[in-house]
Structure 1
Amino acid sequence: MKADGFRALSVRAGSAADVEHLVTLDPVAGSDGGERRAAIQRWCRDGAVLVADTPTGLVGYCVVEYTFFEQGFVTMLMVAEPARGHGVGERLLRAAAASCRTGKLFTSTNLSNHPMQRLLERIGWRSVGMVHGLDDGDPEVFYLCRSAGTAGEA
């Protein structure tokens, strides 16, 4: 996709009609025995998905759930490989923060995932802790969005 195609990018709620497109753009969905496909179906059914849509199709998705101490949590941020570096992840995370129903929005990423850490820090998320033991040898770094839960505020 050409860079100018991302200017027409919109973020909207995902639906059951998007499942196959999301499975196609998510490399894990094709290699994990169906677990990610089932998760994508559940997330779409539960209304937890935001999708990044362009005139040529979906290029990413973000999942926000409310099971992390009853606060918003970005469970998944996935951007198709060719769309990375064009602001898609940023747009999805900003939309997640704007629509968050709680006062706090968290996410996490592996310590080895430097691109995600740079993105989060660049758009104002703050590192708030680390958990060892989830992935052997690669701790999980947790982040808090400073502007979560402000969708309805002026």
Structure 2
Amino acid sequence: MVTVEDDFVSLWPPDLVVGGGGYLLDLRARERSPNGHVQVRRERSVLVASTPAGLVGYCVVEYTFFEQGFVTMLMVAEPARGHGVGERLLRAAAASCQTAKLFTSTNLSNHPMQRLLQRVGWRSVGMVHGLDEGDPEVFYLRTLPSTESAE
């Protein structure tokens, strides 16, 4: 199980509210694991990773990208990075996805995110220029287990 030090609390205050994309979610109402391990659970279109000390990361999944699942945001508190939080959030997003395909994207310059996506089974499927000048957006696809043999 992933454990994280307690010193990230100041980065992620307990009354943090995430908004955007037509939803507003108060992350104060989250369950905590009694043994101190990171616990990931789904909150509408937001997956939350937390420890008894507080929030360590979140992942937003939306269904507005050609009616397919799309991870629009993956955020892990800096002190929690490298402890498997992002990997667990992406796996939980795939497990709870309501469509056969789950997409995400990141800038070409974001090498840590690209390595994470490749490590957990996502594949690069295209690139779009012009969103961020000089830094193309790379799109990734995670085909879910029930459809992998069909493609």
The TM tier, using the shorter chain, reads 0.7 to 0.9
Deviation at 1:4, TM superposition (A): 6.4
Alignment partner of 1:82 is 2:53:
no
CA contact (8 A) 2:19 2:25 kept: no
The answer for the alignment partner of 1:39 in structure 2 is: 20
Structure 2, unaligned runs of 5 or more: 5-12, 27-42
Deviation at 1:55, TM superposition (A): 1.6
Deviation at 1:126, TM superposition (A): 0.4
Structure (1 or 2) with the greater helix fraction = 1
Q: Which amino acid aligns with 1:44?
A: L
1:105 paired residue among 66, 84, 102: 102
Give the Cα–Cα distance (whole angstroms) in 1 for the partners of residues 14 and 46 of structure 2: 10
CA contact (8 A) 1:97 1:147 kept: yes
Alignment partner of 1:54 is 2:54:
no
Moved over 4 A (4+): none
Give the Cα–Cα distance (whole angstroms) in 2 for the partners of residues 138 and 50 of structure 1: 28
What TM-score, normalized to structure 1?
Answer: 0.71
Q: Indicate the larger mover: 41-50 or 73-82.
A: 41-50
The structure-2 alpha-carbon separation of the partners of 1:111 and 1:148, relative to structure 1 and needing over 3 Å to count, comes to: farther
Q: Which amino acid aligns with 1:77?
A: L
SS class of match (1:5): coil
CA contact (8 A) 1:43 1:49 kept: no
Give the Cα–Cα distance (whole angstroms) in 1 for the partners of residues 14 and 120 of structure 2: 28
Structure 1, unaligned runs of 5 or more: 7-17, 24-36
CA contact (8 A) 2:122 2:140 kept: yes
The answer for the alignment partner of 1:93 in structure 2 is: 90
Q: Indicate the larger mover: 139-148 or 62-71.
A: 139-148
2:15 paired residue among 8, 17, 20: 20
Q: Indicate the larger mover: 40-49 or 134-143.
A: 40-49
Give the Cα–Cα distance (whole angstroms) in 1 for the partners of residues 77 and 21 of structure 2: 15
